Amino acid sequence: MNLFAENEIIISKNLIGIDEAGRGALAGPMLLSACKLHKDITGLCDSKKLNEKKREELYTQIIKNSSYLILSFSSDQIDTLGLSTCLKKGLSIIKQHFNKDNDFLYDGNTNYGISGIRTLIKADSKIPQVSAASILAKVNKDRIMNFLAKEFPQYHFEKNKAYGTKMHKELITKFGPCKLHRKSFKLV
């Protein structure tokens, strides 16, 4: 594990920010994204702190002004391989995708054994490249869940985005899980 100190400031034109969305969801895919910004974008922060309209606006700017990669791991992959293995595989793919002369920073506290990827807790709130990756992952995850809500309307994925809200848990109890629900995740 290679952690940045909390107060360390990172300034690098070659920084690839990495974050995921859907890690703790009860259904649907987990998306892992990586982003290298080519110009400064005002307003970047943790995607969870932005409303949907602002995320969409920033998403458009990020797409136009960055190099990025977005990976998706299905519920079946998460159930079969495990969440940690999916994350490790994703980080490895990201590292191989981008030029070796880049620096890599992943939001969190572990790099899952992938050398050359540094970590920082709450990097999505502190580092623009990681904020951008957070937004890319969140917007795509939400779009996927909005689409899947049409096929599985009884779960209201368009509202809960497949996270373990009280309503979502009640709907699973009422209707049972669908093929999108992660069998490896147990309701508490």
Which is more confidently placed, 103 or 5? Answer: 103
Q: What mean pLDDT is predicted for residues 164-174?
A: 95
- Decide if 186 is inside a domain: no
Residue 1 pLDDT class (50, 70, 90 cuts): very low
Q: What is the domain count for the chain?
A: 1
- Decide if 4 is inside a domain: no
User: Which own/partner contact pairs does 50-55 have at CB distance under 8 Å and 24+ positions apart?
Assistant: 50/135, 52/142, 55/135, 55/138, 55/139, 55/142
- Decide if 5 is inside a domain: no
Prediction pTM value = 0.92
- Decide if 3 is inside a domain: no
Q: Is 19 annotated as a binding residue?
A: yes
Q: Is 56 annotated as a binding residue?
A: no
Residue 167 pLDDT class (50, 70, 90 cuts): very high
Ordered alpha helix ranges (H), 41-165: 52-64, 75-81, 83-97, 123-126, 128-151, 157-160
- Decide if 8 is inside a domain: no
Q: Half-sphere exposure (CA, 13 Å, Cβ side) for 61?
A: 18
Neighbours of 129 (CB within 10 A): 29
Residue 8 pLDDT class (50, 70, 90 cuts): low
Is the predicted pLDDT of residue 106 greater than 60, yes or no? yes
User: Of 174, 139, 168, 144, which is closest to residue 156 (Cα–Cα)?
Assistant: 168
pLDDT digits (tens, 9 = 90+) for 48-64: 999 999 999 999 999 99
* Parallel, antiparallel or unpaired: strands 15-21 and 103-107: parallel
| Domain extent for 165 | 15-175
Residue 25's pLDDT is what? Answer: 96
- Give 140's strand partners: none
- Decide if 124 is inside a domain: yes
Matching residue, tokens 């992660």: 182
Is the predicted pLDDT of residue 6 greater than 60, yes or no? no
- What CATH number has the domain bearing residue 31? 3.30.420.10
- Give 66's strand partners: 37
Q: Is 20 annotated as a binding residue?
A: yes
Q: What mean pLDDT is predicted for residues 137-166?
A: 97
- Decide if 125 is inside a domain: yes
Residue 2's pLDDT is what? Answer: 40
Residue 188's pLDDT is what? Answer: 59
